[in-house]
Structure 1
């Protein structure tokens, strides 16, 4: 069963529009289309960059549908009681391959999925290196963390396990996904053509810290999550723009720090990030828009879920937030973009994170840095890191290069609290890491950054 998404009603309350944030307001958000209309992009086709930006790169893009061909159990919410029932939007995996003038290559893969299990990262990285000669340090796998996608099976399965349809279907999907990703990466590398790169950024305001103010109720550290307008957030929208030599926009890689949890239904959907990509690609043949999730472990979209805003569904909220983010990306791509030069420099390593209970084994946590010359430093952290990591690293690594921090990359093992969150306790601190988890990760980031040195 395929469900046709409802387009946002013109009756959307004013305060919902305001929730999209100052960034969207500054961008001049487009008028909502009437019911049944094809969504238009938030702005017209982008103009080619000034000719002074050289086409000194090669870039290739590819995408593949990863929507399950059967209704599997869904990922993200433990309270689900049945498999998926329909689809409102396809799920995608997309790849951007870049090559500098020295022949160094990097591939960034984004997926409309819950996360990147360690076994998937290892398998895809090993097969990609063997098939395409791409070192594992030069491959980034990032998940949007949509809660409207399928469960992935990361642990080994036995013959007994495969007798369970839920486990068998998830295992088969995960195996097929890995094949698709290896092929996708090869396709992007095979499409390398001369290109120019620019970077820009804007702001978008619908993300809000979801950890209630613990100073107001310290006696209840395990209270439920609640919107906290005074909590830390990262509203920056970084964007990398890739143009062909003739000025045609070929690829847009953009980020935002917010959970993809507008939706609570039983249908496949990319949530707000899926709609942001869809709106950016509308009426732009050949464009590949990719969403790179940030440090959003404690960030939720607000409003969210049906019934919160009278007369507005969760799907309409996902579309509204997707529109706001797409508008912010449009601004990031056109407001004072800076040229990006090479070379590509990468570093990848793992740091052992320990649990408070001594009987639990440590976890090898991946940290990756991709530098595009002296213009962009992309730090990719695994799992659900809270926003403190992004805010801290952008401050500590500040310099001539723009610092972009992503979460949900190359690993998915649950929440990674900062020291602040660890001390406060609560939902995002429940994994049981030792208190030094933030220091271990940040020290590894600095070590890799120092290892790369100045471009």
Structure 2
């Protein structure tokens, strides 16, 4: 069963889907980032994986980030989680436990291999730019909003790049962070595919000979410029090799400075914000909600942070975030490279700005949050980046 759009069963494979894994170790902190060609997973599925890795391999869950590329043409993995609350009719079938176990075991095998293959490396960081995406909150003359194209709407076309080199300067791996829905193909497509993120990753890998981890960004209101077509050919899927793949290659070439002196610092915080009145909550997500003494039901959002040296701040959340929120956070960050890794460690719905809520449309119907959530999240993340992360940054400079 493919996840994304209506319930439907695949009838073949258009392109292969992967776990891509990078392990980094600075001598004190060992960190893992996984990019998987799936639509999303429930936070409870991440918790299950993290508990197993902690028990068997002593991996700190704080240092384990599992991201989904958000392709809408890959099989379901694990229980439905929060989507079943909004789209109950879609989830009348049981999830495929056998396939889920396969995905989990292959992920663990990959982490073990990555850890085993740790070798001295250098790291570089940079920016790129691609016009492969567009705001999808289309408006009519009355302000009614539907899924479509809005060329005048907010967008984020930056590519955040991390380059990993071997000691001799040859390429080891690339990480590219870009906001784009994995919806080149529509629900009419029944072929398994990584959609644009997957096709772009394979293209860059063919050109460079090393893995590319595609990490989706704040794509809640961002579509590919060709979107919801019935087949790869109709959707110009291969054109994204040029539209985005070549731009990633250009961004990689622009990174001319790398260092073998790397410090990794991880952290996290819980952001609590009221959820919609009357909204049911899945049993498997009990750790992600709380009821106050006054009877207010809260969503508990786990936000993770990674600081690399003195100039890179990465934050992640299990959210389908609107891009204007991550753009504002980046604008208020003291770090020259601030990246948002979306769809990380699960999915707890769309989180959109209060301004966009009044226009309605699809996204508010699959958001569990009451108005004001964007402001709460933005303030919490900016405060953490400007406060705790920057404090560590200043202390590190004093030590040097």
The bucket for the TM-score relative to the shorter chain is 0.7 to 0.9
Name the residue aligned to 2:388: 451
What secondary structure is seen at the aligned counterpart in 2 of 1:366? strand
Q: Tell me, which stretches of 5 or more residues in structure 2 are unaligned?
A: 82-90, 281-296, 394-400
Name the residue aligned to 2:33: 108
Name the residue aligned to 2:151: 229
Name the residue aligned to 2:88: none
Distance in 1 of aligned mates of 2:72 and 2:278: 32
The equivalent position to 1:335 in structure 2, one of 230, 246, 254, is 254
Distance in 2 of aligned mates of 1:77 and 1:168: 17
Contact 1:382/1:409 (<8 A) preserved: yes
Contact 1:201/1:331 (<8 A) preserved: no
1:347 aligns with 2:272: no
Post-superposition offset of 1:348: 1.8
Post-superposition offset of 1:375: 2.2
Distance in 1 of aligned mates of 2:332 and 2:46: 28
Distance in 1 of aligned mates of 2:341 and 2:59: 21
The equivalent position to 1:179 in structure 2, one of 85, 105, 114, is 105
- The TM-score, its normalising length taken from structure 1, stands at 0.74
The equivalent position to 1:260 in structure 2, one of 182, 196, 200, is 182
What secondary structure is seen at the aligned counterpart in 2 of 1:229? coil
1:356 aligns with 2:276: yes
Counting only pairs closer than 5 Å after superposition, residues 301-450 of structure 1 correspond to structure 2 as 301-306=224-229, 313-314=233-234, 317-339=236-258, 341-358=261-278, 360=280, 361-399=297-335, 401-430=336-365, 431-449=367-385, 450=387
Post-superposition offset of 1:166: 8.0
Post-superposition offset of 1:282: 0.9
Stretch deviating more after TM superposition (435-444 or 355-364): 355-364
Post-superposition offset of 1:120: 1.6
Name the residue aligned to 1:274: 198
- Please give the root-mean-square deviation of Cα atoms over the aligned residues, in Å: 2.3
The equivalent position to 2:59 in structure 1, one of 134, 148, 153, is 134
Contact 1:369/1:380 (<8 A) preserved: yes
What secondary structure is seen at the aligned counterpart in 2 of 1:314? coil
Distance in 2 of aligned mates of 1:349 and 1:116: 21
- The TM-score, its normalising length taken from structure 2, stands at 0.84
Post-superposition offset of 1:415: 1.3
Contact 1:305/1:314 (<8 A) preserved: no
Distance in 1 of aligned mates of 2:201 and 2:56: 29
Instruction: Name the CA shift for 1:126/1:427 in 2 (closer, same or farther; >3 Å).
Output: same
What secondary structure is seen at the aligned counterpart in 2 of 1:84? coil
Distance in 2 of aligned mates of 1:111 and 1:255: 14
The CA deviation string for residues 188-224 of structure 1, in whole angstroms up to 9 with x for no partner, is 111100000111111100200010236x423x3xx42
Give the helix-richer structure, 1 or 2: 2
The equivalent position to 2:5 in structure 1, one of 67, 74, 77, is 77
Counting only pairs closer than 5 Å after superposition, residues 156-305 of structure 1 correspond to structure 2 as 167-168=93-94, 170-213=96-139, 216-218=141-143, 220=144, 223-264=145-186, 265-282=189-206, 284-285=208-209, 287-305=210-228
Distance in 1 of aligned mates of 2:279 and 2:242: 47
